[in-house]
Amino acid sequence: MYLEHFAMRDMPFAITPDTSYFYNYGSHQEGLNVLLVALRSGEGFIKVSGEVGTGKTLLCRKVLNTLDESFVTAYLPNPCLTPAGLRMALADELEIKYARNMGQHRILKLINDRLIEINTQGKQVVLFLDEAQALPDDSMEALRLLTNLETEKSKLLQVVLFGQPELDDRLAQSKLRQLRQRITFSQQLQTIDATGIEGYLAHRLLVAGYHGKPLFQREAALGLHQISGGVPRIINVLAHKMLMAAYGQGASTVTVQHLQLAADDTEGVAPLPVTRISRVGAAVVSAMGAAAAAAAMSLGA
């Protein structure tokens, strides 16, 4: 693999949400700041929405790792749960012991008691739900009712919803208006813009242990932004393949030709327009085509 070739410790463009690679830029920086301020305010629901691959799970884990000991957190990565399943999952996260055949009213009472216990310790409980657009309507209502648990001065439970744009469509329904009205902070994650792409690549390379000269040529970085649409997950997939292509050729820098190879190998990604290919790259492509044509003619003969 290319790690030794480029003197790196780790693969810089893995798609797993490793918080050490969090890029504090643009809407991601703003989202982190908004979440931390909102959680310290101690009220209501918080919603973070964004398209597939924009880094919602990474932001969620970054917040989880940033909160100090004054917070007790519960994390549900797959909230496709019934109301009963939602309450039981929360009870498990709060380390509540209960019989599996226990009635829901009793489980809710145990949750309330546990939340009060944590509150008396001067701590706040926050429930993070990833992929919240998958939560059924009746479970949405059960979630809203959970946030009714409160003392005279404060809520016992805060909820942060992370979801795709479909979550906004769901919450626009009249039957969910009570929950929608409780959302006190809302943030939308955007893709990385053309100004930030080179910084994004450099940041991830640095975290991975790379300390050499700029690895991605500017034309390659801008082309990468163009065909990825600035979506971090797609950037990572393509950048990883670009490094593999450069390593395979023994190159010390990543060029637009390596981007072409990566794009050709990635389903659902449009190739870079010909106008963005350098003269050298065009000559290489032309030479390859001529060689293939000559070979075909030879076989035909």
**pLDDT for 259 beyond 50:** yes
Give the residue with greater pLDDT, 223 vs 101. 223
Say if residue 232's pLDDT is above 90.
yes
Domain range spanning residue 237?
2-18+192-300
pLDDT tens string 107-130: 999 999 999 999 999 999 999 999
Which has the higher per-residue pLDDT, 4 or 44?
Answer: 4
CATH code, domain carrying 160: 3.40.50.300
pTM: 0.86
Of 140, 160, 188, the residue at which a domain comes to its end is: 188
Which residue has tokens 């989880």? 64
36 and 157 together in one domain: yes
Q: What is the mean pLDDT of the chain?
A: 89
Q: Measuring CA to CA, which residue among 284, 287, 280, 262 is closest to residue 272?
A: 262
Q: Does one domain contain both 97 and 184?
A: yes
Average pLDDT over residues 146-156: 84
Distance from C-alpha of 266 to C-alpha of 82, rounded to nearest angstrom: 37
Stretch 53-69: mean pLDDT: 96
Pick the last residue of a domain from 161, 188, 215: 188
Q: Does 154 lie in the same domain as 65?
A: yes
Determine how β-strand 158-163 pairs with β-strand 183-188. unpaired
pLDDT for position 34? 94
Looking at the fold, whether 131 and 197 belong to one and the same domain comes out as no
The pLDDT of residue 279 is: 43
Q: In this predicted model, what pLDDT tens digit does every residue of 31-58 receive, in sequence order?
A: 999 999 999 988 789 999 999 999 999 9
Is the predicted pLDDT of residue 5 greater than 70, yes or no? yes
Q: Report the pLDDT value the prediction gives residue 293, as an integer from 0 to 100.
A: 43
Examine the domain organization and report whether 130 and 230 are in the same domain. Answer: no
Three-class SS of residue 44? coil
Cα–Cα distance between 45 and 141 in angstroms, integer?
13
pLDDT tens for residues 267-301?
988 877 755 444 434 433 443 444 444 444 444 44
CA distance 38 to 29: 14
Same domain? 268 vs 290: yes
The pLDDT of residue 257 = 95
Exposure string of 136-148, with b = 16+ CB inside 10 Å and e = fewer, is beebbbbbbebbe
Q: Name the domain count of the chain.
A: 2
Percentage above 70 pLDDT, the chain: 90
Examine the fold and report which residue of 146, 166, 188 is the final residue of a domain before the chain moves on: 188
